[in-house]
Amino acid sequence: MSYQAPAQHTDSTHPRPHGFAASAEGLTKVYGSDETRVVALDGVSVAFERGRFTAIMGPSGSGKSTLMHCMAGLDSISAGSARLGDTELNGLSDKKLTQLRRDRVGFVFQTFNLLPTLNALDNITLPMGIAGTKPDRAWLDQVIATVGLGKRLKHRPAQLSGGQQQRVAVARALAGRPEIVFGDEPTGNLDSRAGAEILGFLRNSVRELGQTVVMVTHDPVAAGYADRAVFLADGRVVDDMPAPTAERVLEHMKRYDAKGHSGPTGV
Ligand SMILES: Nc1ncnc2c1ncn2[C@@H]1O[C@H](COP(=O)(O)OP(=O)(O)OP(=O)(O)O)[C@@H](O)[C@H]1O
Ligand SMILES: [Mg+2]
């Protein structure tokens, strides 16, 4: 292997230093029961440092979305721990989870989740409206300019293309400068030029502003924008690559496919 997996992310015997925006220890998520039982996450331990850009990769059904949802407080945890900063999410009340998501997390959903009755601009600023915070106008303008929505701000989601809806979803997640931005394939519906603009913007927000970004992607080129790529298979972390490049990620994916480590975990 041309890289080494960092060892510190799995050692639960030492207290974590400050500096992790989010972390999981033995995080397990089981859906259903009996014959419909699916172990979507099977004891995942991983930590995301502040001010870094991490790509989460892995075959369809490997647990990428589930990991993001559990770590963002959007889904409950079956066992283990998920922390946002120092806050343990396992056991938090729904009310506390809602507050935490609103105040500390930006999330770009795989299916966008825009409000159909609001136009693009109102969708983008909605979370801040709910949290009662005023948008930083200069930042908001920069976000909107980068995602390329200038002439579509008054359109509702149904009047936008899939790619345009995705840009609204990205802008919404970044607008309030949350502690951590999770993106579930945030450029999956964009052509390569629009995708590159958003990926470049995400990377700059990390480098220049210290934003923390965790992004699921299937695309080795997108992963090449990140500082680190974490690979999931069958609900487990199977590799951890610092400074990924598109070439090395592609090579890794081919090697994994050859080993046959793909497909959902059914128990
Ligand atoms: N709400 C649910 N109920 C039951 N099973 C679920 C649910 N959500 C996910 N799963 C199962 O958990 C496993 C992991 O799903 P997940 O959506 O996290 O995969 P993924 O890696 O994001 O895949 P993709 O790349 O296709 O988006 C899959 O086997 C899936 O069928
Ligand atoms: Mg998914």
pLDDT digits over 158-211, tens only?
999 888 899 999 999 999 999 999 999 999 888 898 899 899 989 988 998 889
Strands 105-108 and 180-184: parallel
State the CB neighbour count (10 A cutoff) for residue 129: 11
Which pLDDT tens digit goes with each residue over 10-39? 444 444 445 899 999 999 999 999 999 999
Q: Is the pLDDT of residue 9 over 60?
A: no
The whole-number average pLDDT for the span 87-103 is 94
Residues with CB under 6 A from ligand 1: 31-32, 38, 40, 58, 60-66, 264
Which of the 8 DSSP states describes residue 229?
E
Instruction: Please give the backbone phi and psi of residue 74, each rounded to the nearest 5 degrees, phi first.
Output: -90, -15
The whole-number average pLDDT for the span 55-81 is 96
Nearest CA to ligand 1 atom 4: 31
- Smallest Cα–Cα separation from 146: which of 122, 112, 175? 175
CATH superfamily for domain 49-76+93-258: P-loop containing nucleotide triphosphate hydrolases (3.40.50.300)
What integer best gives the mean pLDDT of the chain?
89
Q: Give the model's pLDDT for residue 15.
A: 47
Q: Give the model's pLDDT for residue 135.
A: 83
E-assigned strand segments in the chain: 20-31, 38-49, 53-57, 79-84, 87-88, 105-108, 180-184, 212-216, 228-233, 236-242
* Ligand 1 pocket: which of 28, 30, 38 to mutate (most atoms within 8 A of CB): 38
| Chain centroid, CA 19 distance in Å | 18
Q: What is d(CA 178, CA 3) in angstroms, rounded to the nearest whole number?
A: 31
Atom nearest to 67 CA in ligand 1: 18
pTM tops 0.85, yes or no: yes
- Dihedral of CA atoms 97, 55, 228, 191 in degrees, nearest 10, equals -140
* Ligand 1 pocket: which of 36, 62, 265 to mutate (most atoms within 8 A of CB): 62
Q: Give the model's pLDDT for residue 28.
A: 98
Domain range list for the chain: 49-76+93-258
Q: Give the model's pLDDT for residue 260.
A: 59
